[in-house]
Amino acid sequence: MPKMMQNRMCAPGKSRRGIGGVLRELFTYSNKLKAPSVAAFCFAVAGAVLTIIGPSLLSRITDLISDALDGEIDLAAIGRTGVILLVIYGFSAVFTYVEHFIMATVTLELSRDMRQDLSRKINRVPMSYFSKVSYGDILSRITNDVSTLQQALANSLPSMISAVAQFLGCLVMMFGTEWRMALAAIAVTALGFLIMAAVMLRSQKYFTARQENLSTLNGYIEEMYSGHDVVRLSRANEQVKETFGGMNAVLYDAEWRSQFLSGIM
């Protein structure tokens, strides 16, 4: 393993903040995020509630058919229920679309503002900072880290809100239907959450290592390309390739481990 990578990997770990701490910092950073997030939350809850109501209407159609096995099926009642069901699922799809549209728009604006603030910050820092930190590392913070944050907010946060709303709504519906089956489902779900928590504890460190290793690799590439003439004159081509291969292998290891463990969930 390259020495620079060993130093990065062996450095004291930074304080870890959970998703709650990150969201609080983001809301403090940008006031634009508050109102759209509340609106997206309301649309997500409304869409989840409508999705939960759908199966109860499907059970009504099943009851109408089963009650008429010895007689004539009330097709008009089934049709009316089907129309109501279609309207419910239609509104649910619209609410979900609006929720994702709001989050995608506001997170793109947030990432744009963050890059602008980072640009202004870079123009203010003293030149001594750039002699200590590689340009590739700085570029990675502006591009890769901001993009990762934007994608997480646009995709993961709405899904989490919908999942929580559906989970709570399903609990109410299940206990209203059959409490013993509901308890069995809760037990299985709790076991699933325990497994997910164990997987997340193992995968989180690899996601952190992936971003750090990507930043280090980008910095090394930028330095080698900017000093390409020096590398050739000193005949350090093979050494540079070997160092790059070591960094690339470390990044590959963190990448596949993080993706594999998160994919298990």
> Does residue 7 lie in a domain region?
no
> Does residue 60 lie in a domain region?
yes
> Does residue 2 lie in a domain region?
no
Instruction: Write the CATH number for 220.
Output: 1.20.1560.10
Number of domains in the chain: 1
> Does residue 12 lie in a domain region?
no
Q: At what angle do helices 179-226 and 3-10 cross, to 10 degrees?
A: 140
CB atoms within 10 A of CB 132: 7
> Does residue 105 lie in a domain region?
yes
The pTM of this model reads: 0.57
Contacts of 200 (CB under 8 A, 6+ apart): 262, 265
Q: What is the pLDDT along the chain (265 residues), one digit of tens a residue?
A: 333 333 333 333 444 556 667 777 777 777 777 788 888 888 888 888 888 888 878 888 888 888 777 777 778 888 888 899 999 999 989 998 998 888 888 888 888 888 888 888 888 888 888 778 777 777 777 777 788 777 777 777 777 777 887 888 888 888 888 889 889 988 998 898 888 888 878 788 888 888 888 888 888 888 888 888 888 888 888 888 999 999 999 999 988 888 887 777 7
Expressed as residue numbers, the domain containing 143 is 20-264
